[in-house]
Structure 1
Amino acid sequence: MINQRVTSVFAADAAAERAVDTAGSRTLVAFPAGGASLSGTGIFADRIMAKLAEMQKTSHTQHAQDAAIVLPAETVRLLHVDLPVTGRRARIAALPFAVEDRISIPIERAHVALCQSTGTGAVLAAVVDRDAMARLGAPVVPVLPETLAIPAPLPDASGRPVWAVWRDGSKAVIRQSDGSGFGLRADMLEMAWSRAGQPAVISYGAALPKALGAQDRSAAPPPPEARDLAVDLRQGDFAPQGAGWARPLRAVAAMAVLGALAHLGLAVADLAALRDIARDVTQQTQAELSRRVPGVSLSAGAQAIGARLAPPTATGQGSGFLPLLARAADPLLIDAPPVTLRRLTWSAADGLLRMQVEASGLQDLQQIERLLGDAGLEVTSGVATASDGAARAELTLSGGQP
């Protein structure tokens, strides 16, 4: 049998300094400084290790997970997110937008990982500071938070959420009925519980403050759930490159090669179909352009089209509207994916061009924003929304560096 190994990484007391504001449905999470030292007891990692050992014994597959890196609950926040988007890739792309207003660090500093689906239109997401993930290097084993050592408790009889709390010394780890969870200093627990609306509490570890009225089940705490231990935070920029926690499967690799050869013919056919679609779209665009701006063709260039589209009275002497519109038109008309301009406004006072754009998905909106930035424009993106097969966002443009 393969030896079970679980590497546990714990944050020092300074790492527990975080802002947890669970009033209503909003939770703000602050992450520890990147330079915090590491220490801890390992009780949660031990529970995860025991469950992995049990799963390995009962596994019917040749290769079983034999190692894991367990991050401290103080550094990872599990969030229950309403995400009415189908498809794993689409959900991963939409997750940063869905959690951006629920964390206290810039979204650029956060690594957001999709953990699992928890119901219709809802997912469980993990948010961790990118620096914390980067300090792990390139692990070849799964990375998961120690919060998953505690199963999510069932709601109470009236359907209200319940907290499962495990206190270990000066640290407390909390798991909620919707699967979300976090860790904090034990002396902050009562404040966080009060702000969350004083939910019912189940205690699995050391005694909790009497004000919480916890049910003591420390004599027989339930083991972690196998579904939770399938989580791996190595996603996106931190996804393993050609290596994972299972041994290489040569037969699968061979089948992948055969599959690639079989799909080559389909790819050629798809390319021809895409060319036909592009030709049709060009013709449709030219027809619409001719209807709106007679005498102008797509070959005239973005600047000529932008000049004809701009109302003569929209700008005054010396206005930067037309140059800014022309610079934005080039990437939108030439390089960007299909996009619809829903609204366009110009503020001469501060030199800002605001446009509401619509594309087929959030990934297309991100590509449009990137193309505008590559054109030297300063782009500020508002909250993006996705519904009815389309995604919308308001972009604010300023001159930047031409």
Structure 2
Amino acid sequence: MRSVHESNVTVEPGSDPRAGGVWTLAAGGPIINEPEGPATLLVPTEQALLLAVDLPLSSRAKRLEALPFAIEDRIAEPVESVHLAIGAEISPKRYLVAVVRHETMLRWIAEAEFVGLGHAAMVPDALTLPVAELESAWMADSQRGRVLVRSHDGAGFACDALIFATAWQAAGQPPVMAWNQHGPAEVPIAGVQIDSKPLSERVRNPPIDLRQGIYARRRAGLSNAWRRAAWIVGIGATAHAAILLADTVALRIIADRREADTRALVQQTAPGMALQGDLATSVAALLPVGGGGGGVPQTFMPLVSRISAALAPVGAINARALEFQAETLVMDIDGQPGLAARIRGALEGARIKATVTESPDGAIRISAGAA
């Protein structure tokens, strides 16, 4: 079997292999590795972050919803700028996850479509290695100055051979198993794991396929004309979906922060109150209700929401007390240099009728009417 980096058979633009086989995305475009097996395009793992992520949720839909929040502190990119793909369950409630920038995915798919491989699964090439039989070890395959690694948790990475030893030392020098005697020479080898199974068999059920979500694979039977039309429509849909995803994530983060601020304010004014279930219902329960079950909660909650939204750009505010008197919300907060002016400008910009005063002890009082 030829190495994925030794094959010199390329695909001419516009050709349509469709029969399947395992291909590798190289600098000059996809190259054939094995003509047998399911249509699979191996992509460089250097451009795909592979993680093992705990997602203890009952359904795939819930896991997809929670995924951005589970990995946002483990990636350097804004979560809305990347494509997230969920793969196999590698241990109970722990899943393989791939993170790829949207522009990288679009470029890879365009290259695949250009040569008729739009129907192929897309798999980071480090995942063609098995997990090492030796506990806590790395499985490593070194070829032509490049090292592929499959870590003991089922994830993996790829790097230049010149920096592999540094990465290995930073990881605590785990045992390294050489794959089919192709281990990196830069570190001690704990053993060799031989597998004669062809690559086409190893990718038949890949641990992850990047072609999911907005980048899901198309059917193989489309004509060239329909394929081109679908690709043009797909680019537009992808752009709109990416924008929608970014907006949704941003709105969710803002909503979570506002809820946390409101909970903090309520705890300061009613320390013994346990907030459970719906926040609006819990806050409304704190307030006196006028005759006939009327208007305090209906006035209070919209006013709090408007003020919270208006003050969000101002930054962190430490509230001392929050009261609602005669349809006027009174909020006392700790003062900071220039804070009163910023608050006054934010409320005026949001068209909220309010007075902002500073007391001798440095506190700031906001009095906002419901009208």
Does 2:109 align with 1:109?
A: no
Q: For 1:59-138, what aligned pairs fall within 5 Å after superposition?
A: 65=38, 67-137=39-109
Partner of 2:284: 289
3-state SS, counterpart of residue 231 of structure 1: coil
Q: CA deviation at 1:229?
A: 1.9
CA distance in 1, matches of 2:187, 2:23: 35
Q: Secondary structure in 1 aligned to 2:332?
A: helix
Instruction: Identify which of 167, 173, 176 aligns with 1:201.
Output: 176
In 2, distance between residues paired with 1:86 and 1:110?
Answer: 24
SS in 2 for 1:197: coil
Matched, 1:236 2:213: yes
Q: Distance in 2 between matches of 1:320 and 1:293?
A: 28
* Offset of residue 285 of structure 1: 6.2
Q: More displaced, 166-175 or 218-227?
A: 218-227
CA distance in 2: counterparts of 1:326 and 1:286, whole angstroms = 29
1:310–1:321 distance in 2 versus 1, CA, 3 Å: farther
Q: Work out the CA distance in 2 between the residues paired with 1:326 and 1:90.
A: 38
Q: Residues 293 and 143 (structure 1 numbering): CA distance in 2 closer, same or farther, change over 3 Å?
A: farther
The TM-score, its normalising length taken from structure 1, stands at 0.50
Instruction: Output the CA distance in 2 between the equivalents of 1:246 and 1:214.
Output: 47
Distance in 1 separating the partners of 2:213 and 2:203:
23
Unpaired segments of 5 or more residues in structure 1? 11-37, 55-64, 248-283, 330-348, 352-402
Aligned residue for 2:275?
A: none
> What runs of 5+ residues in structure 2 fail to find an aligned partner?
1-17, 223-278, 308-322, 353-361, 365-371
Equivalent in the alignment of 1:320: 343
Aligned partners of 2:88 and 2:95 also within 8 Å: yes
- SS for the counterpart of 1:229 is coil
In 1, the alpha carbon distance for the partners of 2:44 and 2:124 equals 6
Give, in angstroms, the shift of residue 228 of structure 1.
Answer: 4.4
Corresponding residue for 2:152? 177
Q: Normalization by structure 2: what TM-score?
A: 0.54
Task: Determine if contact 2:177/2:193 at 8 Å carries over to the other structure.
Answer: yes
SS in 2 for 1:209: coil
Q: Aligned Cα RMSD in Å?
A: 4.1
Mean CA deviation greater in 115-124 or 224-233:
224-233
Match of 1:148 in 2: 127
Mark the structure with the bigger radius of gyration: 2
The one-letter code matched in structure 1 to 2:87 is C
Task: Give, in angstroms, the shift of residue 113 of structure 1.
Answer: 0.7
1:315–1:321 Cα contact (<8 Å) kept: no
User: Which deviations, in whole Å up to 9, do the C-alpha atoms of 1:121-178 show, x marking residues without a partner?
Assistant: 2110111222110113465322111112111223x3xxx4111111111111001121
- Contact 2:147–2:184, Cα closer than 8 Å, also in 1: no
Alpha-carbon contact 1:206-1:218 (below 8 Å) kept: no
Measure how far apart 1:4 and its partner are. 2.3
Alignment partners' CA distance in 2, 1:127 and 1:41: 21
SS at match of 2:211: coil
Aligned match for 1:9, one of 8, 25, 33: 25
Corresponding residue of 2:256: none
Give the share of equivalent positions with the same residue, in percent.
26
> What amino acid is aligned across from residue 235 of structure 1 in structure 2?
Q
Residue 216 of structure 1: aligned partner? 192
Change (3 A) 1:219 1:237: closer
Distance of aligned partners of 1:287 and 1:123 in 2 relative to their CA distance in 1, 3 Å threshold: closer
Structure 1 40/200 Cα, relative in aligned 2: closer, same or farther at 3 Å? farther
Residues 346-377 of structure 1 deviation map (CA, whole Å, 9 limit, x = unaligned): xxx9x9xxxxxxxxxxxxxxxxxxxxxxxxxx
- Give me the whole-angstrom Cα distance separating, in 2, the residues matched to 1:87 and 1:130: 25
Q: How many residues align?
A: 245
Shift of 1:90: 1.5
In 2, the alpha carbon distance for the partners of 1:218 and 1:41 equals 27
Distance 1:324 1:87, change over 3 A: farther
